[in-house]
Amino acid sequence: MYLFGASPVLAKGFLRDRAHQLETLSDDTLYLPYATSLRMGRLGYQSDAQSAIQASFNDLRSYGASLEEAMTHPYPPYEAIGIRSGGEYRQLATTLLQMENEFYSAIRPKRVIRPGERPLHALRDRGVEYVEVRLMDLDPFTPVGITTATMRFLDVFLLHCVLCDSPPDDAAELGAVIENKLRAASRGREPGLTLVREGEEVPLQEWADDILRDCVPIAAALDRANGGRAYRDALASASAALADPDATPSAQVLETMKRDYGNSFVRFGLARSRAHRDAIMALPFPEDVAERFARLAHESLEEQKRTEAADTLPFEAFRQIYLAPVRLSE
């Protein structure tokens, strides 16, 4: 997925440890020439502190155990910050994770929680209701941030993940996954780039080709079920982007910035934002839909008032009860 949708790694300032790889777009913008994603790179949705979390996806028990350990064991750098200073809260806890939703992962098993329920309890008690895919950058060339074709490709790819053989992971594989994500994010369009697969270096393009071939019957089955060939077309678009890295959104961003905006990311981003605003504002907004949203907003505010009026527990007492380690083991 790093190949097919993402913005390039763009950074203000000077990155000393990457200086030999960086190129300049303008006086204050640097980029990695073969990058595919900011979100999944070192400047994005990452945490060096969380690198110690070996969250296994073999089963819910091992996944939950990894998160529980991170939420119950103190983390010295966060202990040094403290929970409060001068009466103001600086953080909720001094553990590596304050709560489950702080875990930075490319994909997370989720369950809708009940009032006051911990997300980990919901998973353990009632199982996985859906998975949260968290590695997609917004596509700057579409007003809603993702195209229908990309969503269809994700459907195919996720079904492939469900159907293909997946032996239990281990610490070595989890480490390789992290390294592969960083390589693909920062160098995904680099000719000859390799990733780690079962302890061996293999070309990214070769591995991706294998996966896309395995996806062909899945796309065909979805088209049979839904009619037409939309899923096969989405898969074909992904294959085309793999064969021609210049066709990927990350490459298109750089080309558009160079051609139309004097290599200025700020000008490019502002222009895309204004275009998307205008496109969305031009869409019809039926009166019944507007009335429904107004009603929902009113009901939400009224529910907030009732909840706050019935709340008699001081926040600090609630915090201690909610985050108590014993609750995670109940």
> 90 and 219 share a domain?
yes
For the chain, the domain total comes to 2
Mean pLDDT, residues 277-292 taken together: 96
Question: What pLDDT sits at residue 32?
Answer: 86
Mean pLDDT, residues 310-325 taken together: 91
CB count within 10 Å of CB 72 equals 17
Question: What pLDDT sits at residue 29?
Answer: 56
Residue length, the chain?
330
Q: Which residues are paired to 29 by β-bridges?
A: 12, 26
> Is 154 a domain residue?
yes
Provide the token pair at 135: 């590695």
> 99 and 221 share a domain?
yes
> 201 and 215 share a domain?
yes
pLDDT above 90 covers a percentage of the chain that reads 66
> Is 178 a domain residue?
yes
Arithmetic mean of pLDDT over the chain: 88
∠ CA 311-317-320 to the nearest 5 degrees?
Answer: 130
| Chain segment 63-93, per-residue pLDDT in tens | 999 999 999 988 999 999 999 998 899 999 9
Q: How far apart are CA 16 and CA 124, in angstroms?
A: 44
Pick the residue with more confidence: 48 or 280? 280
> 108 and 38 share a domain?
yes
Residue 171 has pLDDT above 70, yes or no: yes
Residue 10 has pLDDT above 50, yes or no: no
How far apart, in Å, are the Cα atoms of 63 and each of 80, 138, 180? Answer: 28, 28, 21
> 258 and 319 share a domain?
no
> Is 1 a domain residue?
no
> Is 5 a domain residue?
no
Q: Which residues are paired to 12 by β-bridges?
A: 29
Domain end (from 261, 281, 301): 281
In this prediction, residue 330 has a pLDDT band, given cuts at 50, 70 and 90, of low
Question: What pLDDT sits at residue 271?
Answer: 97
> 98 and 195 share a domain?
yes
> 171 and 23 share a domain?
yes
Residue 21 has pLDDT above 80, yes or no: no
pTM listed for this prediction: 0.83
| Chain segment 226-276, per-residue pLDDT in tens | 999 999 999 999 999 999 999 999 999 999 999 999 989 899 999 999 999
> 109 and 183 share a domain?
yes
> Is 4 a domain residue?
no
Q: 61 is in which domain, residue-wise? A: 10-281
> Is 201 a domain residue?
yes
**For tokens 């610490």, what's the residue?**
171
> 58 and 86 share a domain?
yes
Torsion angle, alpha carbons of 316, 318, 321, 324, to 10: -60
Question: What pLDDT sits at residue 116?
Answer: 82
> 100 and 127 share a domain?
yes
CATH number of the domain where residue 232 is located = 3.30.590.20
> 304 and 323 share a domain?
yes
User: What secondary structure does DSSP assign to 229-294, as a single string?
Assistant: SHHHHHHHHHHHHHH-GGGSHHHHHHHHHHHHSTT-HHHHHHHHHHHHHHHHHTS---HHHHHHHH
> 190 and 323 share a domain?
no
Extract the runs of DSSP E, i.e. beta strands, from 122-271.
130-133, 194-197, 200-203
> Is 294 a domain residue?
yes
> Is 2 a domain residue?
no
pLDDT above 70 covers a percentage of the chain that reads 91
Q: 3-class SS at 201?
A: strand
